[in-house]
Structure 1
Amino acid sequence: MAHTQDWKVRVHLFEEEGTTKARAVLDLGGTEISGQGVARRNPHDRDVPEIGDELAAGRAMNDLAQKLLSVARTDIEGVAHPGP
């Protein structure tokens, strides 16, 4: 039996005074999981916003991935060791 789903991740970026913040949101169809990421520009470095976006978004997606894996571990434990 084939099983196909389409999950979408939205990444929101916010930049202010050399700091870029990102929030990655995965919609699981009724449940959302989100991850956060931050990138700070060294004051001595050139201002290249794309780099901050990439770092913050990558960190947010990494945080999201860790949270999704944690949800999966909890689900596995519930199936492997059902309650009374």
Structure 2
Amino acid sequence: MPNTREWNVRIFLYEDEGTTTARAVLDTGETTLTGRGVARCNPEDVDIPEIGDELAASRAMAELGRQMMRAADRDLQGVGAGPLPPKARAAFGWPDVTL
């Protein structure tokens, strides 16, 4: 049966003296995850707040994405479908030794 869900992400931005801090909050209705990101303006560059917002927000969302992947990996392992173990390969010249 088809199922539609809506997850909401809110991004909060704070700027102070050339440093922008972002907080991305994902609310799934069942859980909440928070990612954080920071962008600093080089003192030699022109301060364009929009660029700081974009960098800090993208970093917060990237962290949020990593948290989501870790949560999915834990859930997969919980049902016995975790990641495959890395392939062992024979070391050059020593077939009984694996890396």
Q: TM-score, normalised by structure 1?
A: 0.93
User: Which structure shows the bigger proportion of residues in helix conformation?
Assistant: 1
Q: Which runs of 5+ in 2 are unaligned?
A: 82-99
Bigger radius of gyration among the two: 2
Q: Percent identity?
A: 56
Runs of 4+ with deviation above 4 angstroms: none
Say what the alpha-carbon RMSD is for the aligned residues.
Answer: 0.9
Q: Could you report, residue by residue, the CA deviation over 1:8-53 in whole angstroms, capped at 9, with x for unpaired residues?
A: 0000000001100000000011310010000000001001000000
Matching of residues 1-84 of structure 1 within 5 Å:
1-80=1-80
The SS at the match of 2:69 is helix
Give, in whole Å, the separation in 2 of the partners of 1:7 and 1:30.
10
Q: TM-score, normalised by structure 2?
A: 0.79
Ranked by relative contact order (alpha carbons within 8 Å, sequence separation 6 or more), the top structure is: 1
Figure out how many residues of one structure are paired with residues of the other and give that number. 81
- Which segment drifts farther, 27-36 or 51-60? 27-36
Q: Which runs of 5+ in 1 are unaligned?
A: none
